[in-house]
Amino acid sequence: MKTEIINKLKEIEHTNGIKILFACESGSRGWEFPSPDSDYDVRFVYVRPLNFYLSVMDKADHLSFPINDELDIYGWDIKKVLKLIQKSNTTPFEWLQSPIIYLEQENFRNELWTLCQSYFYRKNNINHYLGIATGAMDTISNGDEINIKKLFYVLRPLLSAKWCLEKNTIAPMQIGTLLTIIPVSLQDVINKLIVLKSTSAEAFVIKINPVLRTYIADEFNRCSDSAKELNKESFNAEELDKFFKLIVMRYDH
């Protein structure tokens, strides 16, 4: 499948006159808990020739494609990505940490990742992750029943919020690293769920372990309450502007 994805990305480059700077897996495969029927969620960052940006008109800043049975693929212009980084958006932070890379221009990821460290806003990241967890928790029925995919849409964001709160750094993408901040007994419970998910359809319904259910509720409330006490922050775009100009000139074609 990787060869098919790389070939598709090369085709997208050629057809759209762009340069793909970085392409990765962004979904459950990158998070380390895929199901047998998980899609390939391919995301990429691209740049266009200089003349594209020299316009008074607003232009499209993304590329999307029809989703087939296995492949979900879209990309964002580097300018859009940098705007999101200024807002401390978690999505670029996660893409850049993906363990599955399909394409990368030399040193691009390291350069952008280094830049991201100056744009981490703890409160914004915590609230983003808690919002995802809330949406997934709303699917719980009969007090403790949830499909296994949705359970991980509670667990990973909640642990990411906890990481941001306690460590005051960008949360890691992979579930294995996130598990290091919870009790060993719960690590064992979640690792068993990861194994179960690897052999189950995403819609498979399970009952949440009572101890895990209590932990989820307690940590959600703690993170939510703590985030309310954090100060608001904002960032200027000076370093992002410099990086944008550097990248556009480097890959102008």
Using a pLDDT cut of 90, give the percent of the chain over it: 86
Given a contact cutoff of 8 angstroms between Cβ atoms, the answer to whether 21 and 104 are in contact is: yes
14 pLDDT exceeds 90? yes
* Tens-place pLDDT, residues 121-176: 999 999 999 999 999 999 999 889 999 999 999 999 999 999 999 999 999 999 99
What is the pLDDT confidence band of residue 5, given thresholds at 50, 70 and 90?
A: very high
> Is residue 69's pLDDT more than 90?
no
Q: pLDDT tens digits, residue range 222-249? A: 999 999 999 988 899 999 999 999 999 9
Type of residue found at 179: L
pLDDT of residue 122: 96
Please provide the average confidence, as pLDDT, over all residues in the chain.
94
Residue 96 has pLDDT above 80, yes or no: yes
Interacting residues of 252 by C-beta distance below 8 A, sequence separation 6+: 49, 50
Looking at residue 33, its pLDDT comes to: 87
**92 φ/ψ sector (left φ>0, alpha ψ -120 to 50, else beta):** alpha
Distance separating alpha carbons of residues 34 and 36, to the nearest angstrom: 7
Write the DSSP string, 128-151.
HHHHHHHHHHTT-BTTTEEEHHHH
Q: Determine the 3-state secondary structure of 41 from DSSP.
A: strand
> Percent of the chain at pLDDT above 70?
100
What pLDDT, on a 0 to 100 scale, did the predictor assign at position 57? 87
Separation of alpha carbons 138 and 102, rounded Å? 34
Q: Which of 53, 95, 105 is nearest to 251 (CA)?
A: 105
Query: Going by DSSP bridges, is the β-strand pair 40-47/71-77 parallel, antiparallel, or unpaired?
Result: parallel
Give per-residue pLDDT as tens, 184-227: 999 999 999 999 999 988 889 999 999 999 999 999 999 999 99
Long-range pairs, 210-215, Cβ under 8 A, ≥24: 210/144, 211/185, 211/186, 212/186, 213/144, 215/182, 215/186
Secondary structure (3-state) at 127: helix
| Cα–Cα dist 7/164, whole Å | 37
> What is residue 157's predicted lDDT score, i.e. its pLDDT?
97
What is the three-class DSSP state of 22? strand
Label residue 250 by pLDDT band (50, 70, 90).
very high
What is 2-120+233-250's CATH topology?
A: Beta Polymerase; domain 2 (3.30.460)
Q: How far apart are CA 124 and CA 186, in angstroms?
A: 27
Phi, psi (rounded to 5 degrees) for 119: -125, 25
